[in-house]
């Protein structure tokens, strides 16, 4: 159970989650100061902390030595500002004044109850209210935080001019003093997303950011910090993740005093927002998690949080889908899609998704985006007949859309060239021959909602793959003028994308949505709050996927990780990999097929049908169970092994992949995690039985085929206690 308590004598709040504590207090100047984030402590213990470990002095060189809950700008603060405003008269900085607090119990995600703390402060002189929000759950150690700014109207209306918000982070997270901090995060690129990096944290300031209008392939908005001594199974880890799908910035500061401060929020350096009197700025959630069970426990706690608190529909099993993109690219027509659909259905596929190329003049990536009516030559009778056939075959029907984009060569652009992000007197840079529609504009957002709503209403569409294939450039809205309000589009754009998806889901409760952005360019907790799964990468090479999936699942659960089995050699990398290995990689996420089935041999079709059937047996465990990494895939030529344990612990699924073999060293056995030493386990295929104690101590012997790209899938049933 979680709890939030307040001690008026020291003006300290203590947030207790099932296994951790978080504490903050007001100092003599009313500044909200960080006290503790880590092991469970009592109120008496956290009240003793400031005097014992955090002398309240100000150092003339280093400035303020006490971390504020949000690093306000101004005065004697010299760190990275998390809250930075300029008032109408030119005054900058914040001086705090305390207004009050509220602790409340709420419903969250329709079921679990959550506790919230709202700490209300304001600027001592100017009419700016600043509210710090905290939310804790009864079944999670994740603490959600955000910030609200209200530019209040004054009674005598002395302050009637806008103020500029130069930075409004959602939260600051302060870590205790440790000698050897290490920082974990992911880096990447198109087709090479979520590459995990875990390095000594540099002294000074490390900035992770996206300036692209989307979350980005290059970084993902989360950090994991440890004192250099954590590993997969043990050690203290502090992590934080931002629920935002536009530009963002997380700054990590490490001082020579061995303290670490993390501040994060939406927007990137250089954009500012105007806040008129009476207006409010709300920020996205920046959630934090402390665990003392190493990186494995950290990932599992985030997975559970995503399943229980973030996803709109965590319970529905993710179907095995077929996507036609790699088979046809833009060469799409009704006859070809029918053929693929028939083949997919015969393999056990449950959802058939037609990708790009079905609409307007979209026969290549150079034309047609924005014209969302079926191409009359390719679909002479519209989409109805194909959808009918797909349903007749017993599958759901899904469709690719990219609502935020337009090709200049399109009817839409010819009639609405002012609808794209642009500046006067500046080129409109095309990427993939397309421009970004300004979704911050209410008329553009309304247009997008209307055609999507009609598309889904008029056709029996079960699933949309919502793509977004380029970063912003010339992100202007000239009609909005030159003041700071124009930068507001960076936020309003994302909010309108969210609002459209939310409205579509509310109006079409059976519609499922996959998030995509040129692969994994927009994967974050904000998108996951309104989608069912996401496309991690356009790179479907099974070997590369092992690394991508390793980084992806540091934070996000297998339940949302779409994974296609595609052709060999792979269309992106040219690498040839045997089918069983490709299947096993896909089966460790949300398995799907994405190859050109018309070219597959009967033998291959039979094998993949068997693997699809097998996947359906184990997918509850993969999609909803606890994931244990049994090895590190970044070790060259090493064995990668992953274990999933069902929520009731009756089923254990172990995947092992060995890309290359050495004659002198056979891989395995792999020691399993989370096995009950008192129980016995039986291999569902071989019938062999194992003592849990031996699986933990000596491991599971691997039955890998010979040669390179060997892989195995072992399913163990817990059969008895001794
Ligand atoms: C992006 C997606 C792909 C595919 C193409 C279609 O690259 O990531 O999966 O949908 O667009 O143009």
Does 374 have pLDDT greater than 90? Answer: yes
Instruction: Verify whether ligand 1 is closer than 6 Å to residue 538 (CB atom).
Output: yes
Contact (CB, 8 A) for 675 and 662: no
**Does 518 contact ligand 1 (Cβ within 6 A)?**
yes
Query: What separation in Å is there between the alpha carbon of 332 and the centre of ligand 1?
Result: 14
538 an active-site residue?
yes
Ligand 1 atom 6, closest CA: 356
d(CA 215, CA 556): 15
At 141, list the tokens: 């150690």
Cα(40)–Cα(46) distance, rounded to whole angstroms? 10
CB 663 within 8 A of CB 715: no
Summarize the confidence of residues 271-298 as an average pLDDT.
97
- Reported as a single tens digit per residue, the pLDDT across 230-256 is 999 999 999 999 999 999 999 999 998
Asked if pLDDT for residue 131 goes beyond 80, the answer is: yes
For ligand 1, atom 7: residue with the closest CA: 518
For residues 533-562, average pLDDT: 98
DSSP 131-191: EEEEEEETT---EEEEEEEEEPPPTT----S-EEEEEE-SEEEEE---SS-EEEEEE--TT
Average pLDDT score over the chain = 94
Residue 56: the pLDDT is 45
Catalytic-labelled residue, pool 467, 492, 532, 544? 467
- pLDDT tens-digit readout, 289-307: 999 999 999 999 999 999 9
Give residue 662's pLDDT: 80
Mean pLDDT computed over 596-605: 97
| The pLDDT of residue 110 | 59
Report the run of H or E that residue 85 belongs to, with start and end.
strand 83-86
Tokens, residue 598 = 């018309």
Upstream peptide bond of 17 is cis (omega within 30 degrees of 0): no
The percent of residues in the chain predicted with pLDDT above 90, rounded, is 89
Q: Could you tell which of 523, 538, 545, 562 is best to mutate to test the pocket of ligand 1, judged by most ligand atoms within 8 Å of the CB?
A: 538
721 pLDDT tier (thresholds 50, 70, 90): low
Predicted local confidence at residue 663, as pLDDT? 75
Q: What is the mean pLDDT of residues 261-287?
A: 96
What is the 8-class DSSP label of residue 704? P
Task: Say if CB 370 and CB 413 are below 8 A apart.
Answer: yes
Q: Is residue 30 annotated as a catalytic residue, yes or no?
A: no
Say what percent of the chain tops pLDDT 70. 95
pLDDT of amino acid 179: 87
Q: How confident is the model at residue 55 (pLDDT cuts 50, 70, 90)?
A: very low
Task: For residues 255 and 277, give the distance between their C-alpha atoms in angstroms, rounded to a whole number.
Answer: 38
- Residue 57 has a pLDDT of 47
Q: What is the pLDDT of residue 111?
A: 58
Who wins on pLDDT, 632 or 467? 467
State the distance from the centre of ligand 1 to the C-alpha of 356, rounded, in angstroms: 7
- Exposure string of 121-141, with b = 16+ CB inside 10 Å and e = fewer, is bbbeebbbbbbbbbbbbebbb
**pLDDT band for position 203 (cuts 50, 70, 90):** very high
442-458 and 489-507 helices cross at what angle (nearest 10)? 20
pTM: 0.97
User: Ligand 1 centre from 71 Cα, in Å?
Assistant: 40
Question: Where does the pLDDT of residue 703 fall: very low under 50, low under 70, confident under 90, or very high at 90 and above?
Answer: confident
Cβ atoms < 10 Å from Cβ of 585: 27
Residue 62's pLDDT band, with cuts at 50, 70 and 90, is low
Are the beta carbons of 131 and 32 closer than 8 angstroms?
A: no
Of the candidates 123, 141, 487, 538, the residue annotated as catalytic is 538
**pLDDT class of 124 with cuts at 50, 70, 90:** very high
Give the DSSP per-residue string, 633-699.
TTSTT--EEEEEE-TTSSEEEEEEEESS-BTTB----B--SS--TTEEEEETTT--EEEHHHHHHT-
> How far apart (Å, rounded) are the C-alpha atoms in residues 214 and 247?
6
At residue 666 the predicted structure's pLDDT band, cuts being 50, 70 and 90, is confident
Cα Rg, the chain, nearest whole Å: 27
Is the pLDDT at 409 greater than 50? The verdict is yes
Residue of higher predicted confidence among 470 and 258: 470
- CA-nearest residue for atom 1, ligand 1, is 518
**Is the CB of residue 472 below 6 angstroms from any atom belonging to ligand 1?**
no
């Amino acid at each position: 159970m979680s709890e939030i308590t307040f001690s008026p004598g020291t003006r300290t709040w203590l947030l207790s989650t099932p296994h951790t504590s978080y504490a903050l207090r007001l100092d003599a100047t009313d500044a909200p100061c960080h006290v503790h984030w880590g092991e469970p402590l009592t109120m008496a213990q956290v009240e003793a902390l400031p005097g014992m470990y955090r002398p309240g002095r100000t150092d003339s060189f280093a400035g303020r030595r006490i971390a504020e809950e949000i690093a306000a700008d101004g005065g004697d603060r010299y760190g990275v500002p998390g809250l930075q405003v300029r008032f109408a008269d030119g005054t900058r900085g914040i001086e705090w004044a305390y207004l009050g607090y509220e602790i409340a119990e709420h419903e969250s995600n329709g079921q679990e109850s959550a506790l919230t703390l709202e700490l209300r402060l304001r600027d001592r002189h100017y009419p700016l209210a600043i509210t710090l929000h905290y939310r804790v759950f009864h079944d999670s150690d994740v603490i959600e935080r955000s910030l609200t700014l209200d530019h209040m109207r004054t009674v005598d209306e002395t302050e009637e001019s806008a103020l500029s918000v130069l930075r409004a982070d959602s939260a600051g997270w302060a870590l205790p003093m440790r000698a050897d901090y290490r920082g974990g995060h992911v880096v990447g690129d198109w087709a090479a997303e979520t590459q995990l990096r875990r390095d000594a944290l540099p002294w000074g300031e490390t900035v992770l950011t996206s300036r692209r209008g989307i979350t980005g392939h290059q970084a993902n908005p989360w950090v994991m910090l440890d004192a250099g001594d954590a590993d997969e199974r043990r050690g203290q880890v502090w992590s934080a993740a931002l629920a935002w799908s536009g530009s963002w910035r997380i700054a990590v500061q490490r001082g020579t005093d061995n303290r670490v401060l993390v501040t994060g929020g939406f927007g990137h350096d250089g954009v500012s927002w105007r806040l008129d009197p009476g207006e409010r700025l709300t920020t996205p959630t920046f959630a934090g998690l402390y665990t003392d069970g190493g990186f494995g426990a950290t990932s599992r706690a985030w997975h559970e949080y995503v399943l229980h608190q973030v996803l709109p529909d965590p319970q529905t099993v993710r179907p095995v889908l077929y996507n036609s993109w790699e088979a046809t690219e833009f060469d799409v027509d009704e006859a070809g899609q029918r053929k693929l659909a028939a083949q997919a259905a015969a393999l056990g596929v449950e959802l058939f998704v037609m990708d790009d190329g079905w609409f307007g003049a979209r026969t290549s990536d150079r034309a047609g985006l924005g014209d969302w009516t079926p191409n009359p030559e390719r679909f002479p009778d519209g989409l109805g007949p194909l959808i009918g056939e797909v349903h007749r075959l017993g599958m759901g029907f899904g469709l690719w859309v990219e609502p935020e984009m337009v090709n200049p060569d399109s009817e839409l652009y010819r009639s609405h060239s002012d609808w794209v992000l642009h500046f006067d007197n500046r080129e409109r840079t095309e990427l993939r021959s397309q421009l970004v529609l300004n979704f911050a504009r209410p008329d553009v957002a309304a247009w997008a909602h209307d055609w999507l709503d009609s598309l889904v209403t008029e056709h029996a569409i079960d699933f949309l793959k919502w793509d977004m294939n380029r970063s912003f450039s010339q992100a202007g809205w000239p009609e909005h003028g030159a003041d700071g309000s124009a930068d507001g589009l960076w936020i309003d754009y994302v909010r309108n994308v969210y609002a459209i998806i939310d409205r579509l889901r509310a109006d079409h409760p059976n519609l499922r949505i996959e998030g995509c952005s040129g692969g994994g360019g927009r994967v974050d907790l904000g998108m996951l709050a309104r989608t069912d799964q996401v496309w991690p990468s356009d790179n479907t090479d099974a070997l590369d996927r092992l690394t991508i999936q390793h980084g992806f699942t540091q934070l996000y659960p297998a339940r949302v990780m779409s994974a296609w089995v595609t052709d060999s050699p792979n269309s992106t990398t040219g690498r040839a990999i045997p089918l069983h290995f490709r299947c096993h990689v896909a089966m460790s996420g949300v398995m799907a097929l994405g190859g050109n089935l018309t070219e597959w041999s009967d033998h291959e079709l039979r094998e993949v049908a068997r693997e699809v059937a097998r996947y359906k047996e184990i997918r509850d465990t993969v999609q909803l169970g606890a994931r244990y990494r049994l090895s590190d895939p970044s070790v060259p030529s090493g064995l990668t092994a992953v274990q999933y344990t069902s929520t009731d612990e009756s089923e254990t699924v172990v995947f092992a992949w060995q890309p290359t073999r050495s004659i002198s060293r056979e891989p395995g056995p792999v020691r399993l995690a989370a096995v009950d030493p008192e129980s016995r386990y039986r291999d569902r295929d071989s019938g062999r039985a194992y003592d849990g104690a031996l699986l933990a101590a000596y491991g599971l012997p691997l039955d890998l085929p010979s040669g390179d790209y060997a892989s195995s899938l072992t399913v163990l049933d817990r059969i008895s206690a001794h």
